[in-house]
Amino acid sequence: MMRLRIALLCVLALPACTERPQAAIGHVLPQGWGAQAMAAVRDAVDSLPASQRARIRFVQDTTVPGGPTDREIEYAERIASRPDIVAVVGHGGSRESLVAAPVYNEAGIVHVVPTGTSRLLQEAGPWTFALPPDERAEGTFLAEEIVARWAPGSVSLFFENDAYGRGLAEAVRTALRAREVDIIDASPMARDGDVDVVVEGSLSRGRPDVIVAVTRERETARIARALLARGVDIPVVAGDGAFIFPSLPEMAGPAAANIWVAGFWNPLASDSVSAAFVRRFRRVNGVAPHPSHAMAYDALMLLVTAVIETGPSAERVRAYLLELGGSRPAYRGVTGAIDFRSPRAGRFVLLNAAAVAGAGS
Amino acid sequence: MTRMPRHLSIRGVLLVGLVGIALYTAGIAAYLVWQTSRVGRLGAELRTVAALVSDLNGRAAEMGRYVRQAHRALDDPDGPAGAALDVIRRDLGAGPLRAQPPRLADVPAAMRRPLARADGTLAQLEAALVEAIALVQLGQRAAASARLLAVDSLALSVEGRLAAAQEAGLEDLVARQTGFASQTATAVRTVAVWGVLGILAIPLFLLFLQRRLARPLERLDDGFARVAEGDLSVRLDQERDDEVGRVIGHFNEMTRILHDRAAQQGRLAAAGELVAGVAHEVNNPLMAISLTAEARLDEGGLTPDLRADLQQIVRQTRRAATLLRGLLRFARPSDRVIEEIQVNDLVRDALDLVSYQFGVDEIDVRQDLDPDLPTVQADATQIEQIIVNLVGNAVQAVRVHPTPRQIRVGTRRIDSTIELIVEDNGAGVPDEVAPRLFRPFYTTKGPEGTGLGLYISRQVARDAGGDVVLEPTPGEGARFVLRLPARRRTPVPGVAAEPAAGATPLAGIRVLVVDDEVSVRRPLRRFLERRGAQVHEAGDGLEALTALERYQVDVILLDLRMPRMDGIEFYEELRTSHPSLRARVVILSGDLMQLERTDGIAIPPERVLAKPVDLRELEGRLRVVAIA
């Protein structure tokens, strides 16, 4: 009789024994492009074997770019309070990611930042991993491109007055000065502020050869249009915060030809991984992806791979990320080889908004 | 057999105790470090918050100044305030100056939102001020004025946000202070409890030491003291099988062995006393038989057969006397007397002593004695004991062996060493036994053996500068070798030449024979008188003293064991009564061990004779003493 009871218990417990526990991966990304990136990720996960798919669950929250920082903290606290969360991708840019990072670090949750370049993210905590190279690498790249393409004697600088804008502006300023380029004006800008006034005010103090705009896509487009409206035909070089697709070319209109944007990934790249990602993204979303889509996609798929290989444990996922490039080979993502053992060199590209818009439609 | 209950060894308990002490110490240290680290973290957070708030306050104050400048510039764009706008704009364009970016991870959770809001609002204010300055510099006064109003509003908002952040910081600090005070109280209580536990552990540990170490060691100490006082029956309770328990077990085993050996030694000593007494009693009749036979031989007129019979009687009585002397030497050990001895003689005496076993057990004993063997310097009795022990072991070995049973005893000289070899054709000594053969109390004879024979033999040989070894023997049997350093043979003191038969060599010598045995005195008297001596008799020491008052004597022939006044007492009495006669006393006794009672009185060996005595030797000694 005892043996029968034990056998019955084993049979009842069998499903529990065979079913592996699920891990929840959270993503807190800006509305619009964040959902598009997530759709491509779900499509990729759906193509995995059922046993692997069953281990992953996604938890979503969307942010509004430029919104209040305390709302980012609220999103972070809400997601971190879930007991099944092992990792989070988010939040959007450097500003939002910096205020959310302490929440995830205190909770012991892996936090992967897909598009933040602020060097302060390196000191945000042991659980925070920034995917892009930091602002110093981007600033150097921008300065090199500016000097190589236009050999300017002077540059004016506009920057969004937050952690992203201030950090990248400082990096560009340092790199340009090292190349003996004169910075004749630097002006902070508020998101949704009066760009025309700031541009006009800056031009009244001197006309540069190149304008560097460390601003988001709307401000970048408005800067270019303001210049065009005043008959100033000078290139506007933007940081990675100004997205290429789909809004920037539309927002900039005829001024798009003067806008050059730095990105972490070339949407027109012909390598097989990039091409496969572009095909999937178009099929799922009906539009071509931009670099931020690729970075978010890589961040999410990296965590999916980590959970499949190590299990539903934040500690093991963190260990997995730290082993990349060491005891484990670097992760091959759409944006290149990924590891966190040393500052990421990055594959920067400088893309013309009008040229890419034509190719990506 | 009762099984000893298993206990944790003392070493194990001490190790556990040490580990416990280490954990106790490490635990309290770790706890204190953990508590102080929390204070350290609090300090880091407070510093970060203070830096952030200070930075924000600094920026806000600066912004306030800028805003006022901007208002003044609006009213007077060409004045100094207007000129200052470029400076303000450049400052704002350079970005907020921070020497070191703050670690947001160090900002307490309660302050993150207020600080983030304050920083965001300040950034908006900075950007709005740039726009306002641009409008002022572009001459768009109305737009600039409107923008400055928005700037003022933002400035107020910044003040509010900063105040809220500071208030949140204060509340957080008060909460932390309260928490810290509570943690401190908890830590103090915890440390106090820990300390009390530690203090309680001390008496427990002492109790353990008392029970497991001190008390058993006290019992051991008491046991050893009782053994030292001679009590070999002591047995201690072995309560545990730990280290001390095992020592107690060994102690009990040791005392049991000592007790058994002592009992055996006691039996041997008692037997020795009995043998000594019997030997002495037998010596007198033997002497009487010997004297009577010798006296009869002296008289002459005997048929050849009768003469031969009488000579046989003399030989056998002397042989019996030699055996009895050998028995006495073993039965009553005496102080070592180091003298020059001939080992061959001791071999013969020893073989005589144990010869009765040879016939019974059909043992063929062969002697190969080197006739030119040098003498050695040693105690004859002890060397004879070694030989008896080795021969006895050989007999034990061949007894259980099928015939032929053979023992060979040989002597030889090897350079400056003499060797005595005793070998047999028995089963030999097993390899596993050989290393332990010379250890005390090791025996292969079970309860019959003392385990001391070979051990003592080796010690005696080594004391004499030699050794006893077991030599490997190819084939069967065992071979023991006694080695001793050889000495140059020294001449034996001369004995007076024997006078011719029928002469009166003792003529003119007056002899007092003091012996309680008439059967000894009478034949002695007859012999001495035939040899020309004038003889008086006394039955004990008192009679002898009386006789000395009446007669002059030249030699006193003195027995030792006598009633009323024995030989030793008489000899002592001569010191005061007739001191000159002490040098003329010749001891004639069957129990020479009595001489040990003389307490330092040295009687030269030439004035000591053992019964039964050789009459010719007696005559020679009397002449020497009388003439001297």
Provide DSSP, A118-155.
Answer: -GGGGGS-TTEEE-S--HHHHHHHHHHHHHHHH--SEE
Backbone angles phi, psi at B391, to 5 degrees: -65, -40
Q: Which of A126, A187, A188, A138 is nearest to A162 (CA)?
A: A188
Q: Can you give the pLDDT at residue A309? A: 92
**Cβ contact A161–B126 (<8 Å):** yes
The C-alpha of A330 sits at a distance from chain B's nearest C-alpha, in angstroms, of 28
Q: What is the pLDDT of residue A29?
A: 86
Residue with tokens 């193509």: A47
Say which residue the tokens 């004499």 belong to. B464
Give the model's confidence band at B494: pLDDT under 50 very low, under 70 low, under 90 confident, else very high.
Answer: very low
Which of A123, A160, A187, A199 is the best residue to mutate to test the B interface, defined by the most B CB atoms within 10 Å of its own CB?
A187
Per-residue pLDDT, B90:
83
Q: Do B126 and A188 touch (CB under 8 A)?
A: yes
Helices of type H across B464-566: 518-530, 541-550
Which region among A76-85, B261-270, B532-541 has the lowest average model confidence (pLDDT)?
B261-270
Minimum-distance CB partner of B92 among A101, A119, A188 = A188
* Whole-number pLDDT of residue A20: 46
The answer for residues whose C-beta is within 8 angstroms of residue B502's C-beta and 6 or more apart is none
Does A64 contact chain B (CB < 8 Å)? Answer: no
Full strand arrangement of the beta sheet holding A110-113: A56-63, A23-30, A85-90, A110-113, A128-130
- The span from the CA of B452 to the CA of B439, in Å, is 8
| Two structure tokens written together for B29 | 């240290």
Rounded-to-integer distance, Cα B628 and Cα B624, Å: 6
Residue A105 vs residue B355, higher pLDDT: A105
Q: Cα(B291)–Cα(B526) distance, rounded to whole angstroms?
A: 9
State which residue of chain A sits closest to B121, comparing Cα positions.
Answer: A68
Q: Where are the alpha helices (DSSP H) in B210-242?
A: 215-228
What's the rounded Cα separation, in Å, for the pair A101 and A90? 9
A91 touches chain B (CB under 8 A): no
Q: Contact B117/A98, CB-based, under 8 Å? A: no
Closest CA relative to residue A198, chosen from B66, B70, B72, B133: B133
Residues of chain A with pLDDT under 70: 1, 4, 6-21, 61-67, 244-246, 344-346, 357-361
Residues B375-413: pLDDT tens digits?
A: 999 988 889 989 999 999 999 999 988 889 999 999 999
pLDDT recorded at residue B593? 63
A192 touching B (Cβ < 8 Å): no
Between chains, do B123 and A105 touch, taking CB under 8 Å as contact? Answer: no
Contact call for B103 and A188, based on CB within 8 A: no
**Residue of B105, B116, B123 lying closest to A161 (CB–CB):** B123
Residues of chain B contacting A188 with CB distance shorter than 8 Å? 92-93, 95, 123, 126-127, 130
Nearest to B93 among A123, A187, A197 (CB): A187
Tell me whether residues B130 and A69 touch, CB distance under 8 A: no
Q: Is the pLDDT assigned to residue B597 strictly greater than 70?
A: no
A102 at interface of B, judged by CB pairs closer than 8 A: yes
Distances (CA, A) of B225 to A38, B228, B230, B235, B254: 92, 5, 9, 12, 14
Q: Is A309's Cβ below 8 Å from some Cβ in B? A: no
Is residue B515 predicted with pLDDT exceeding 80? yes
Question: In sequence order, what are the residues at sequence separation of 6 or more whose Cβ sits closer than 8 angstroms to the Cβ of residue B171?
Answer: B110
Contact at CB, B105 and A169, closer than 8 angstroms: no
Cβ separation B103–A123 shorter than 8 A: yes
Judge whether A84 and A57 are in contact, CB under 8 Å: yes
pLDDT in the model for residue B393: 93
Residues of A in contact with B133 (CB under 8 A): 201
Q: Find chain A residues with C-beta within 8 A of B93's C-beta.
A: 157, 185-188
Q: Which of A68-77, B89-98, B321-330, B563-572 has the highest mean pLDDT?
A: B563-572
Q: What sections of A151-193 are H helices per DSSP? A: 163-178
pLDDT at B26: 87
| Chain B contact present for A247, CB below 8 A | no
Q: Is B93 exposed, middle or buried (0-12, 13-18, 19+ CB in 10 A)?
A: buried
pLDDT range class, residue B333, cuts 50, 70, 90: low
List phi, psi (to 5°) of B238. Answer: -95, 90
Chain A CB within 8 Å of residue B150 CB:
no
Compare B602 and B558 and report the one with higher pLDDT.
Answer: B558
So what's the pLDDT on residue B100? 47
Residue A219, chain B, CB below 8 Å: the answer is: no
Residues pairing with B608 in the sheet: B587
Q: Which of A73, A106, A157 sits opposite B113 (nearest CB)?
A: A73
Cβ-based neighbours of A133, under 8 Å, separated by 6 or more:
A117, A264, A343, A344, A345, A346, A348
B27 Cα to chain A: minimum distance (Å): 26
In chain B, residues 83-122 whose CB comes closer than 8 Å to chain A: 86, 89-90, 92-96, 101, 103-105, 107, 109, 112-113, 116-117, 119-120
Average pLDDT for residues B148-163, to the nearest whole number? 90
The reply to whether residue A201 touches residue B117, judged by beta carbons under 8 angstroms, is no
Pairing mode of beta strands B375-379, B338-341: antiparallel
What average pLDDT does this structure show over B296-316? 86
Q: What is the pLDDT of residues B234-258, one digit of tens each?
A: 899 888 888 888 899 999 998 888 8
Nearest residue on chain B to A104, alpha-carbon basis: B105
What residues of A are in contact with residue B86 (Cβ under 8 Å)? Answer: 205
Q: Per mean pLDDT, which of A66-75, A271-280, B196-205, B310-319 is the most reliable? A: A271-280
Res B543 pLDDT > 90: yes
B41 at A interface, C-beta within 8 A: no
Higher pLDDT, B60 or B373: B373
**CA distance, residue B190 to nearest chain A CA (Å):** 27
- The alpha-carbon gap from A115 to the nearest alpha carbon of chain B, in Å, equals 19
Neighbours of B148 (CB within 10 A): 23
Q: Does A67 touch chain B (CB under 8 A)?
A: no
Average pLDDT over residues B156-182: 84
The predicted pLDDT at position B270 comes to 73
pLDDT at B495 exceeding the cut of 50: no
Asked if B478 is an interface residue toward chain A (Cβ–Cβ < 8 A), one would say no
Mean pLDDT, chain B, as a whole number?
A: 83
Do A73 and B116 make contact, defined as CB atoms within 8 angstroms?
yes
**Predicted pLDDT at B69:** 87
Supply the DSSP symbol for B449.
Answer: -
pLDDT the model gives residue B85: 85
- For the entire predicted model, the pTM comes to 0.55
Chain A closest CA to B63's CA: distance in Å? 14
Residues 6+ apart with CB under 8 A from B182: none
Chain A CB within 8 Å of residue B145 CB: no
Q: Do residue B90 and residue A103 have CB atoms under 8 angstroms apart? A: no
Q: When comparing pLDDT for B489 and B292, which is higher?
A: B292
The CA-to-CA distance between both ends of chain A, in Å, stands at 72
Cα–Cα distance between B441 and B134 in angstroms, integer? 117
Residue in A68, A185, A187 nearest the CB of B120: A68
Helix (H) or strand (E) holding B469: strand B467-471
Across the interface, whether the CB atoms of B123 and A162 are under 8 A apart is answered yes
Tokens matching residue B23: 């954990």
Q: How many percent of chain B have pLDDT more than 90?
A: 24
Contact A123 B90 (CB under 8 A): no
Cis peptide before B430 (omega within 30 of 0): no
The 10 Å Cβ neighbour count of residue B162 is 22
| pLDDT of B344 above 90 | yes
The percent of residues above 70 in pLDDT, for chain B, comes to 88
